[in-house]
Amino acid sequence: MSGGEALVHALVDSGVDVCFANPGTSEMHFVAALDTNPTMRCILGLFEGVVTGAADGYGRMAGKPAATLLHLGPGLANGLANVHNAKKARTPMVNVVGEHATYHREYDSPLSSDVVGVATPMSDWVAMGDSPDSVAALGAEAVENAMVAPGQISTLILPADTAWGRTSAKAVAGGPASAPGAPDADAIDRAARALRSGDRCTIFLGGALSEERVAATARIASATGAKVVASTWAPRQEMGAGAVPIRRLQYFGEQAAEQLEGTQHLIVIGGKPPVTFFAYPDKPNWLTPDGAEIHQICDATDDVDAALETLVDAVGASGEEPARWELARPDLPSGELNPLAIGQAAAHLMPENAIIVNESGLSGGAYQMGMRGAPSHSFLALTGGAIGYGIPAAIGAAVACPDRRVINMQADGSGMYTVQGLWTQAREGLDVTTVVFSNRQYAILQFEFGRVGAHNPGPKAMSMLDLSNPDLDWVSLAQGMGVPASRATTAEEFNVALERSLAEPGPSLIEAVV
């Protein structure tokens, strides 16, 4: 078989059976190999940011990596922003990047570049095949490294001649390349003492918010009176009816500082102590209150579940029964269409077990407030802050969970970065409802402009923060890529559009003019 076939088989044998792809000439042998393995599903994206963002959404929901197929250094570069998001979310992902044939790389041909250099900043593991015999083993190793908990980015560079040459080599990943690190037992002891002392304790929980983890922190809180705050951008959270409530750290530093105010012991589990997203002039970026003692129990790559279990036992909280959200769907909204109304309509209409992909920018707080009482759902956030994540991640979530409706809450400015993903949603017939918050501005930047101390933007500055002139017509954009779409300017119109979208299989888009 060809090296390309060997790699496809190694990926499938290692449990990777979905490949999001945007191939070019140097990947044709991998593409040809797809038809030699019936298990591998391959999904085309019309831009690489769609491909990598889809792999992020897939990995977060499936708990295992998808492969991506990208074309040389520039193709990888186009996908890097969403690889960055996946890296920050610690999503497992295996990127396969075609490269010139080994003997062609010495020439300065047009598409030559330092592919390893492009891959390195956003990857946890990078390797390049040197022969057809090498690629199956490297494919298995890529999966092993991607599966290091909670997830890593593996990038395997595949020179064209390693894909077209013949080989009989096979390989299967043997499991994660390394086990999660042990939590700091001394820090757990100290944290447990602090929790039992009556001092004001705050548990800061990083990483994905599984039901078990959130429940564990709620038990500790219930037994000790501690406060619990999760990171702002948890990659995935189980929410809605039946879920245990947990507060997230506020995005803006002033509000985050308020949440943490008075903390005497900050107990950090599954991450690092909280900092602001950006630094601002004359505002603190380090959010741990002065004088508070930090108990760093474990980072995101360590065994967070074991740490929580130990801590629950240490404070005698295992018998606590945490409160849970109850189903209390709000009434359908009426009148003005705004983010709050959109959240209410969603909570009223959405099916059980939906997946919300959130890239809603400044509209996010209000629509999430409107969603109180919603049925059980998973919630995916923009963990790495690189916009252009929502439309692609919705693809990946829908591929991973074909029986669940995906609702992508999408800011208009961010949506434009990877708008091409709508076409893939149409081609694959994915059950994705995209709600575009069409406010025709980079609203968050207008807000941030003042916060960074640059008051009273002039006309040139304002024009950089404004998406009008001309207004984007999201209905045309979606229809241009085969996705049915409608526009809503009132809550009533939105209710009708959302009900119809949720009832119909396949993708559709609602431009919500807010």
Positions 123 through 182 that interact with a second copy (CB under 8 A): 160-161, 164
- Judged by beta carbon, residue 83 or residue 143, the one nearer a second copy is 83
Tokens describing residue 502? 């949720």
Distances (CA, A) of 147 to 15, 90, 92, 341, 380: 11, 10, 6, 40, 19
Residues 302-341 that bind a second copy (CB under 8 A): none
Spatial separation of the C-alpha atoms in residues 238 and 312, rounded to whole Å: 20
Q: Tell me whether residue 218 or residue 475 sits nearer to a second copy (CB atom).
A: 475
Q: Least CB distance from residue 122 to a second copy, whole Å?
A: 7
Distance separating alpha carbons of residues 63 and 398, to the nearest angstrom:
14
Q: How far apart (Å, rounded) are the C-alpha atoms in residues 203 and 264?
A: 11
Residue 241 has a CB neighbour count (10 Å cut-off) of 17
Closest contact distance (angstroms) between CB of 6 and a second copy is 14
CA distances, 7 to each of 24, 166, 177, 371 (Å): 17, 12, 18, 44
Of the candidate residues 130, 258, 471, 504, the single one contacting a second copy (CB under 8 A): 471
List CB contacts of 181: < 8 A, sequence separation 6 or more. 298, 299, 301, 302, 303
Among positions 449-468, residues that touch a second copy (CB under 8 A) are 449, 452-454, 457-461, 463-465, 467
Residues from 476 through 495 that contact a second copy (CB under 8 A): 476-477, 479-482
Pick one of 137, 218, 419, 509: the residue that binds a second copy (CB under 8 A): 419
Residue with Cβ nearer a second copy (13 or 161) = 161
Least distance from a second copy to the Cβ atom of residue 436, Å: 12
Does 25 interact with a second copy (rule: CB under 8 A)?
yes
CB of 312 to a second copy, least distance (A): 27
By CB under 8 A, the residues from 63 to 122 that bind a second copy are 73-75, 77-78, 80-81, 84-85, 88, 100-101, 103-104, 107-111, 113-114, 117-118, 120-122
426 lies in the binding site for a second copy (CB under 8 A): yes
Q: Which is nearer to a second copy, 46 or 177 (CB)?
A: 46
Shortest approach of a second copy to residue 359 CB, angstroms? 13
365 versus 385: smaller Cβ distance to a second copy:
385
Distances (CA, A) of 170 to 2, 95, 142: 11, 19, 14
| β-bridge partners, 508 | 433
For the CB of residue 323, give the shortest distance to a second copy in the complex, in Å: 30
- Note whether 230 and 364 are within 8 A (CB): no
Assess 42 for contact with a second copy (CB under 8 A): yes
Rounded to a whole number of angstroms, the minimum distance from the CB of residue 424 to a second copy is: 10
- Cβ-count burial 405-419 (b if 16+ within 10 Å, e if not): bbbbbbbbbbbbbbb
Nearer to a second copy, 237 or 344 (CB): 237
Residue in 58, 125, 379, 417 binding a second copy, rule: CB under 8 A:
417
Interacting residue with a second copy among 197, 285, 318, 334 (CB under 8 A): 285
Least CB distance from residue 114 to a second copy, whole Å?
4
Closest contact distance (angstroms) between CB of 257 and a second copy is 15
According to the binding rule CB under 8 A, does residue 475 interact with a second copy? yes
Pick from 386, 394, 436, 509 the residue near a second copy by CB under 8 A: 386
Out of 57, 388, 392, 396, which residue is the one contacting a second copy (CB under 8 A)?
Answer: 388
CB closer to a second copy, 23 vs 240: 23
Who contacts 305 (Cβ-Cβ below 8 Å, separation ≥6)? Answer: 212, 213, 216
d(CA 257, CA 286): 9
The H or E element containing residue 329 is none
Q: Terminal CA-to-CA distance of the chain, rounded, Å?
A: 56
- Min dist CB 9 to a second copy, Å, is 14
Distances (CA, A) of 138 to 86, 127, 158, 179: 21, 7, 10, 19
Question: What span, in angstroms and rounded, lies between the C-alpha atoms of 31 and 25?
Answer: 10
Applying CB under 8 A, among 92, 384, 390, 392 the residue interacting with a second copy is 384
Cα→Cα distances 83→70, 125, 468, Å:
12, 13, 30
* Closer by beta carbon to a second copy, 109 or else 168: 109
- By CB atoms closer than 10 A (0-12, 13-18, 19+), residue 328 is exposed
24 sits near a second copy (criterion: CB under 8 A): yes
How many other C-beta atoms are found inside a 10 Å radius of the C-beta of residue 117?
Answer: 10
Binding-site size for a second copy (CB under 8 A) equals 99
**Minimum distance from CB of 132 to a second copy (Å)?**
12
Q: How many Å apart are CA 128 and CA 155, to the nearest integer?
A: 8
Which among 333-341, 365-373, 417-425, 496-504 is the span making contact with a second copy, rule CB under 8 A?
Answer: 417-425
